[in-house]
Structure 1
Amino acid sequence: MTVEARKTKSGPLPWIALITVWFVWGSTYLGIGAAVETIPPMLMAGVRFLVAGLIVLAVVGPKHATGANRPTARHLRSTVIIGALLLVGGNGLLSVGQTDLDSGTAAIIVGTVPIWMVLVDLVATKARVTGGTIAALVLGTAGVAVLVGGPGSGIDVGAAVIVLVASVFWAVGSVYARTAPLPAHPLVSTSLEMIAGGVLLLVVGVASGELSRLDPGAISTRSLVGLLWLIFAGAVVGFSAYIYANATLPGDVVATYAYVNPVVAVVLGVLIGHEVVGANLLLGGGLIVGAVVAVVSGRAVRRVVLRARARRGT
């Protein structure tokens, strides 16, 4: 299915999917923090996405992945690439970073994703970098700097860098997914991406020695609850909703999740995870969210102007 065909969806479902991403994904940072307390991060993420992918495929596969709808070799190649970028590079590294970061801090760093998406788009299309984009990038960079080294900060710099790199991977994967050849049904794509990503995460986990650090008897109830929440709410529901929204709504609209998620994550971290909100989190988070809002709103305005010009034939 072409990008144009995937973008013609209308009705309430894409918006319901986006709202689900706003709030469900905001909660997953707390779930990751709990799960990686006693489960090695890459293995945890691998189990999470492999199980979730198999569940989704079992539901939608019999009807939407057989016969004429059977995924082609090109489709499978795309799902492996997306799974590697989004789930191994993106979520896997996020899980590693959260072994040493609070959920709210990690969520705010991941909030830079829309900025990276704009830069990836610019590199891919070789478009001119606008002053507004440069200003937003500077503002977002300043926000990360304040978050990591601002007043009252006790943040692990290495962990913060890992999460920042994860954000870049997620941005690259999201941009690639918008033009990649994929199965006609978004949830078939979702399931295959999660299965591919889950397998790759398990391979990376084993290769990095995580299996030797896994002690099934030491896994806490809190970590198990976190893992179950990540499988069913975060992956089956949340990731499926994200892929659907990303395939059916404009990119600048989908990107709004990036400044809703951190707010949800910080609030839940304080209320449930008993995390402390310091001045660096408020100041740095405010700068990052401001930069994201500037990027998203700027792209939305440009889209409206271009459509108006197209209607006028100019």
Structure 2
Amino acid sequence: MRFLLAGTLLYGTLRLSGTPAPTRQDWQRAAVVGLCLPLFGNGGTTFAQQYIPSGMAALLVATVPMFLALLGWAAGLTPRPNAWVLLGLTLGMGGLGLLMSTRSAAPVLVPGHSLLGMAAVLLASLVWSVGSLYSRQKPIGGSPFLGVGMQMLFGGSFLLVAGLLHGEAATFQISKVPLSAWGAFAYLVVFGSFIAFSAYIWLLRMVEPALAGTYAFVNPVVAVLLGWVFAGETLNAGMLGGAALIVVAVALVVLGGRRKNAS
């Protein structure tokens, strides 16, 4: 619903202000990005957090720049990975292995299925990266922010259908939604959709894909700390070790790729 609301407001405001109407091809491209980013990326990560703590999910999402670097090279958008990038990928795989072997005592909605949650986040990160590269290669014409509104409209629609197919309508009662949840919803509409998602899509047009994915430097640290402070999630040695390896790996992949481009 937050993508549908943000997309409707953004698209409607721009069209009413005189922005030209998109073409049929633009709508098709927006549908692909809406499928990859909001549905698989955001939806897959949300699904996974039934089974793993939010901190671990954020650490696994830190693989996005690594996926972007590898897929960008395979698609001919970025140079072949150099030694620093390959070292980063190796450390990243080690960090993922360490995380997957870690048993966290943090509370989850559905315990006993941590591998399913980890696999869902990794798949979500992979498809997010594919959609990001597609958005760069096949940009929507005209205003990039009109395109963002279209992508959010599709993404919100796909997520709504997925929720209905999952049977969530039978258990949803709007009168039972607490005030804190409405506050979180409003926060995600403004900061998660209007600002962050728009900035990310715009950056994909302006810089190389792996650099656009550097938000993953900050997300794991913030999520792990917030999960520890507010959600009772534990910080054990395995998680901290995996976190350190992944953050270092992402730094090597992104910064190593920048050095090669500058040389």
Tell me the TM-score normalised to structure 1 length: 0.75
What is the CA-CA distance between 1:139 and the residue it aligns to? 1.5
Match of 1:56 among 10, 17, 30: 10
- Residue type at the aligned position of 1:266: V
> Is the 1:64–1:185 contact (alpha carbons within 8 Å) kept by the matching residues of 2?
no
The letter of the residue matching 1:109 is L
Q: Is the 8 A contact 1:85 1:172 kept in 2?
A: yes
SS for the counterpart of 2:162 is helix
C-alpha distance in structure 1 between counterparts of 2:46 and 2:240, whole Å? 23
Task: Provide the C-alpha distance between the structure 2 equivalents of 1:100 and 1:128, rounded to a whole number of angstroms.
Answer: 36
The Cα offsets for residues 81-133 of structure 1, whole Å up to 9 and x where unpaired, read as: 00100111111111111123322211111010011112212332397555444
Q: Give the counterpart letter for 2:172 in structure 1.
A: L
The root-mean-square deviation of aligned C-alpha atoms, in Å, is 2.1
Contact 1:139 1:291 in 2 (8 A): yes
- Partner Cα distance (1:97, 1:116) in 2: 19
Are residue 75 (structure 1) and residue 26 (structure 2) matched? yes
The Cα shift of 1:176 comes to 0.9
Which stretches in structure 1 are left out of the alignment for 5+ residues?
1-46, 306-314
Question: Does structure 1 residue 288 correspond to structure 2 residue 246?
Answer: yes
Partner Cα distance (1:132, 1:64) in 2: 48
What is the alpha-carbon distance in structure 1 between the residues aligned to residue 160 and residue 104 of structure 2?
A: 33
- 2:153 is matched with 195
Deviates more, 1:214-223 or 1:187-196: 214-223
TM alignment of 1:115-154, pairs within 5 A:
115-125=66-76, 130-150=82-102, 153-154=104-105
Query: d(CA) in 1 for partners of 2:62 and 2:257?
Result: 17
1:157 to 98, 115, 120: 115
Shift of 1:134: 3.6
User: Partners in 2 of 1:266 and 1:64 — Cα distance?
Assistant: 43
Aligned position for 1:87: 38
Match of 1:183 among 141, 163, 170: 141
CA contact 2:7–2:152 (8 Å) conserved in 1: yes
Identity over aligned pairs, percent: 32
Q: Matches of residues 172-251 of structure 1 in structure 2 within 5 Å? A: 172-251=130-209
- Contact kept? 1:56, 1:187, Cα under 8 Å: yes
- Match in the other structure for 1:28: none
TM-score by structure 2 length? 0.89
Letter in 2 for 1:183: G
The amino acid that maps onto 2:249 is: A
Paired AA for residue 59 in structure 1: T
Structure 1: which amino acid aligns with 2:121?
Answer: V
Instruction: Give 5+ residue unaligned stretches, structure 2.
Output: 107-113
Secondary structure at the residue paired with 1:184?
A: coil
- How many residues are aligned here? 255
